[in-house]
Amino acid sequence: DAGITQSPRHKVTETGTPVTLRCHQTENHRYMYWYRQDPGHGLRLIHYSYGVKDTDKGEVSDGYSVSRSKTEDFLLTLESATSSQTSVYFCAISEMGRGNTGELFFGEGSRLTVL
């Protein structure tokens, strides 16, 4: 299994509080992603990174920010959590280029509840 760790795995917070989710990988993969999963929507991309300090927005980036200061860590921050951000968040990694398959490897998910 790919070495991907998400923390925390479960969190309950209140509206208006900041929240940071961490994704840590031991695979030295260049690409890292944050997705959210909601019923009826599948997985939707929030932000992704294609290298240290190189990030870009996905389709549902409003209300979220990310940072990647090291290859192994990709942080997702909700500056002021809202109830609409209650979801399951998945981190994923991949490597591209010759010999790689394009497959994304996923963490186990973090369930966030905003009251």
Partner 1 sequence: AQTVTQSQPEMSVQEAETVTLSCTYDTSESNYYLFWYKQPPSRQMILVIRQEAYKQQNATENRFSVNFQKAAKSFSLKISDSQLGDTAMYFCAFMGFISNFGNEKLTFGTGTRLTIIP
* CB-CB neighbours of 57 under 10 Å: 14
Nearest in space to 113 (alpha carbons), one of 41, 42, 21, 34: 21
Alpha-carbon distance 98 to 39, whole Å? Answer: 36
Q: How is residue 27 annotated by DSSP? A: S
Given a contact cutoff of 8 angstroms between Cβ atoms, the answer to whether 107 and 8 are in contact is: no
Closest contact distance (angstroms) between CB of 28 and partner 1 is 17
| Interface with partner 1 in residues 25-84 (CB under 8 A) | 31, 33, 35, 40-45, 48, 50, 54, 56, 58-59
- Closer Cβ to partner 1, 85 or 94, answer by number: 94
Number of residues engaging partner 1 in binding (CB under 8 A): 27
Q: Which stretch binds partner 1 (CB under 8 A): 14-22, 68-76, 79-87, 92-100?
A: 92-100
Contact status: 108 vs partner 1 (CB under 8 A): yes
Alpha-carbon distance 45 to 76, whole Å? Answer: 12
Binding residues for partner 1, rule: CB under 8 A, are 31, 33, 35, 40-45, 48, 50, 54, 56, 58-59, 88, 90, 92, 94, 96, 101-104, 106, 108-109
